[in-house]
Structure 1
Amino acid sequence: MKALVWTPNDKLEYVEVDEPQIRKLNDVKVKIYGTGICGTDLNVLKGKMNATHNMIMGHESVGEVVEIGEDVRDVRVGDRVVIDPTQFCGKCYYCRKGLTCYCESFEDWQLGLGAHGTFADYYVGEDRFMYKIPESMEWERATLIEPLSCVLNVVEKAAIKPDDSVLVLGSGPIGLLVQMMVKKSARLTVATEIGKFRSEAAQHISDYVYHPETLTVEEVERINQGRKFDVIFDAIGNQLDWAYPLIEKGGRLVPMGFDDTYEMKIRPYQLLSNGVTIVGTGEARQIMETALSCAIDLPQLSDLITEKVELENFEQAVQNLMGIDPNSKERKDITAIKTILVSDPKLV
C-alpha cells in the first residue's frame, strides 16, 4: 500500500510500504477513510517537533473495520470507528495509576510520531483504542473527535467558571474548538488571529476577534469590565510571553500548541505576587468517549472541514496550511481550517 512516511532525510514522502496485518488476538484492521492534518504534523515538518524516521505519520483518523482478531468483542467488521492515537502501555507506574498521559513509554505508542500512524490505506491497532461512530454521524465530523478530545482535556483542567473572561490565542482548528467549548461556559470569549479567513471563522463563535497588534491592555479593559483576562489559552504554542501582560491576578495561563523550540522566561516573584498559574495538562487521557458523545450534538464541527484532498496530493494541501509562500518565504493568509487527506479518491 502507499503511505506518507517521515523519511531519514527529514521529509514527508508518499512511498510504498507493507500493508499492516493482524498479529495479536485483540488487533483490529481498519480501512482508513481519511486523516486530518494536525498542527503537530505541521510542526514536525517545520522542525519544531521530532518524529521517528521511517514512520507513517498521521493520527486524526476514522475508517471502517475490515478484519478483527479472535478476542475482539467491542467492534465488528463493517463498523465505522475513530482511532484514539494517544495510546499507552497500560503496565507502567503511571498507567497503573490511571495517568496514562504520562506513560513511561509514551513516545513508542504515539501514532504518527513513535508508532505507525494513519496517513495510509490501512491501519492495525488494538481494539481498546477503537471507538464506534454512530451511523448518523458523517465522516467529516468524526475526523474532529480526536482534536476535540484534546481540547476537552485542556478546557477541563483550566476549570472555566461562569464569570470567567477567556482569551484564545490563534484561530486554527484547535483554537476554534477551544472557542466553541469555552463559549458554553465563560462570560466572555475573545480570540486572536492574524489571517482574514480564520478571523472570519472565529467571528461566528467568539464575542470579539482581534489581530494581536490591536489587542492592547486598554482594549481588553474596555471590553472586560475594566479587568484583564481570567484565562488565556495559547493555541499557537509560542505566545505566552506576549500574553502575560493580559492576564488578571489569580488567572490561568494554558499552553497548548506544541512547539519544542519555544522558551518562556518566568519571574517566580510575579507568579507568587499575582497568583498566576501556568496549567500544564499533558496529553488527553482516556477522554475519547466523552469527545464522541459531545460530537454527536455538535453538527457544526463539520463546518471546520474546509478541504478534502487525496493522500497522494498531500504536498499542496500541506503547503496551503503552512502560511508561508514557498517562493518569497513571506507570510500568506491561510485559506483553510481543517484539511482531511483521504485514502480513497472516490470519497474526495
Structure 2
Amino acid sequence: MKALSLVGANTIGLIEYSLTHTLPADGVEIDIVMSGICGTDLAVLAGREEGQTGIVRGHEAVGIIVRVGEGVKTLRPGMRVVIDPNEYCGSCSPCISAQTHLCTGGAQQGLDIAGVNKHGTFANRFITRERFVHCLPDDMTWETGVLIEPVACILNNIDQAAIKPGERVLLLGSGPMSLVAQLLLRAMGVETVATDLNTFRVAFGSALGLTVIHPQSLELNRPEHEKFDAVIDTVGNQLDAAAQVVRRAGRILLFGFNGNYQFSLPVKHFLVNAISVIAAGEYNQHFPRAIRLAHKLPELGKLVTHRYSLEAYSIAFDALLNDPSAPMVKCVFTPNPDYL
C-alpha cells in the first residue's frame, strides 16, 4: 500500500509500505479515511523540528475498522473511529500515577507516538491497540472527527492554564489549532482575540464570528486593565509579544513548536508581575472528553478546507510551506476516498 514517510532530513516522499499480517490479540486494523496535516509535520519539513527518517508520518486520523484481534471486546469491523496516536505503556511509574502523557515505557523511553517515532496514519491502513481507538458518534462528520486529536491538545492546555469563563485570552497566530482553541474557548464563555498575517485566515475566523486581527492591529503598550488573562503562543516564537500584553498574575502558554527559537527571559519582569509560563506537554486521557465536546461543535468541521490524495502530497505541502498567503486552513489526506 501507499504511505508518506520521512525519507530524508526535511523531506517527505511516497513509499510502498506493508503492514504486518499478524494482528495482536488487542490489535485493531483501520482503513484511514482522513488524516490531518499538523503543524508539527510542517515544522519537521521546514527544519524547525527534528524528525525520524523512515517513519510514516501522520497522527490525526479517523477511519473504519476492518479487522480486530481475538481479544478485542468493545470494537468490531465497520465501526467509524478516531485514533489516539499517543500510545502510552500503561505500566511505568507515570502511567500508574495517571500521568500517561509522561510515559517512560515506550520503545524510546517515552511515549510511542504514531507518526512521530513509530509509523503513523499517512497511509491506507493503520494498526493500533484497542485502548487507543474511540468510536465516533453516528452523526459526527469525518471533518469534525479528524479534529478530535487537536481538540484534546487544546483541552490539555486549557486545563493546565485553568482558563475560566469570563476571562480574556489572546491567541498569537490563527492557524488550525488556534481556530480550534477559539471555538472551544468561545463555547466555554471565554472572550478571545487572535492575530494572523494571512488575510484569508483573518476573514475565515471573522466569518465564524471570531475576533481575528492583523498583528499590526494589536496594541502592545496597553494599560493594565486592557491586558489579557492568558496568552497562547500558537506560532512558537512570540513570547516577547506575549509578555507585553499579559496582565499581572496572568499566564503565558507555550503551544507552537519551533526548536530553533530561543527567548531571553526577563526574570524580574516575570517575578514582579507574577506571570506564569505554562508548558502543558502532551494531553493526558483527554480523548473521551474531546469527543463529547467536538460533538457539540459541528462548526469544527468547517475548518477542513482542503483534501488531498496521498499521491498529491507535494501539492499540499508546497502550498502550506511556501505560500504564507494561501487561502487554506486545515488540510487532510484522504487515503481511502471511496468511504467519503
- On whether the aligned pair clears a TM of 0.5, the verdict is yes
Q: Summarize deviations over 1:303-337 as a string: whole Å, max 9, x none.
A: 10101111110111112222x24xxxxxx302111
- Counterpart of 1:85? 85
User: Partner of 1:319 in structure 2?
Assistant: 318
**Could you tell me how far 1:20 is from its partner in structure 2?**
3.6
SS of alignment partner, residue 73 of structure 2: coil
Residue of structure 1 equivalent to 2:57: 57
Equivalence for 2:297: 298
Please list every run of 5 or more consecutive structure 2 residues that lacks an aligned counterpart in the other structure: none
Q: CA deviation at 1:158?
A: 1.5
How many residues were matched structurally? Answer: 337
Q: What is the rounded CA distance, in whole Å, between the counterparts of 2:166 and 2:305 in structure 1?
A: 33
Match of 1:227 in 2: 226
1:328 alignment partner in structure 2: none
CA distance in 2 between counterparts of 1:40 and 1:208 reads: 25
Q: Any idea what SS the aligned residue of 1:250 has? A: strand
Structure 2 equivalent of residue 251 of structure 1: 250
Alpha-carbon distance in structure 2 between the residues aligned to 1:131 and 1:194: 36
Residues 23 and 68 of structure 2 are in contact (CA less than 8 Å); yes or no, is this contact kept in structure 1? no
Q: Which residue of 2 aligns with 1:335?
A: 327
SS at match of 1:55: coil
Give the letter for the 2:250 counterpart.
G
Unmatched tracts of structure 1, length 5 or more? 326-331
Using the TM superposition, give the Cα deviation of residue 85 of structure 1 relative to its aligned residue in structure 2, in angstroms: 0.7
Q: Report the aligned-residue RMSD.
A: 1.8
8 Å CA contact 1:194–1:211 kept in 2: the answer is yes
CA separation in 2, counterparts of 1:347 and 1:163?
A: 42
Pair 1:22–1:257, CA change in 2 (3 A): farther
What is the aligned partner in structure 1 of residue 158 from structure 2?
155
CA contact 2:32–2:123 (8 Å) conserved in 1: yes
My pick for the range that moved more, 264-273 or 98-107, is 98-107
**What is aligned with 1:283?**
282
Structure 2 counterpart SS, 1:128: helix
Letter in 2 for 1:143: V
Range that drifts further, 203-212 or 126-135: 203-212
Give the deviation of 1:161 after TM superposition. 2.4
CA shift in 2, pair 1:47/1:25, >3 Å: same
Encode CA deviations 1:79-101: one digit per residue, 9 max, x unaligned.
Answer: 11100012211121211111111
Please list, as runs of the form range in 1=range in 2, the aligned pairs for 1:172-211 lying within 5 A after superposition: 172-186=175-189, 188-205=191-208, 208-211=211-214
Q: Identity percentage over the alignment? A: 35
Question: Following TM superposition, by how much is the alpha carbon of 1:163 offset from its aligned partner in structure 2, in angstroms?
Answer: 3.5
Is the Cα–Cα contact under 8 Å of residues 32 and 335 in structure 2 kept in the other structure?
yes
Q: Distance in 1 between matches of 2:11 and 2:256?
A: 22
Q: Match for 2:52: what amino acid?
A: T
Does 2:34 correspond to 1:41? no
- Amino acid aligned to 1:92: C
Q: Which amino acid aligns with 1:305?
A: V
> Which residue does the alignment assign to 1:329?
none
TM-superposed deviation, 1:44:
0.8
Deviations 1:171-198 (A, max 9, x none): 1110001111222335531110101111
Distance 1:21 1:182 in 2: 43
Does 2:24 correspond to 1:17? no
**Native 8 Å contact 1:68 1:77 kept in 2:** yes
Contact 1:107–1:113 (Cα < 8 Å) also in 2: no
1:132 is matched with 135
**d(CA) in 2 for partners of 1:250 and 1:108?**
33
1:121 aligned residue: 124
Kept in 2: contact 1:197–1:335 (CA 8 A): yes
CA distance in 2, matches of 1:20, 1:37: 25
**Equivalent-residue separation in structure 2 for 1:310 and 1:6 (angstroms):** 17
1:68 alignment counterpart:
68
Q: What amino acid is the match of 1:96?
A: I
* Residue identity opposite 2:330 in structure 1: K
Q: Name the aligned partner's letter for residue 34 of structure 2.
A: G
Is the 1:43–1:49 contact (alpha carbons within 8 Å) kept by the matching residues of 2? Answer: yes
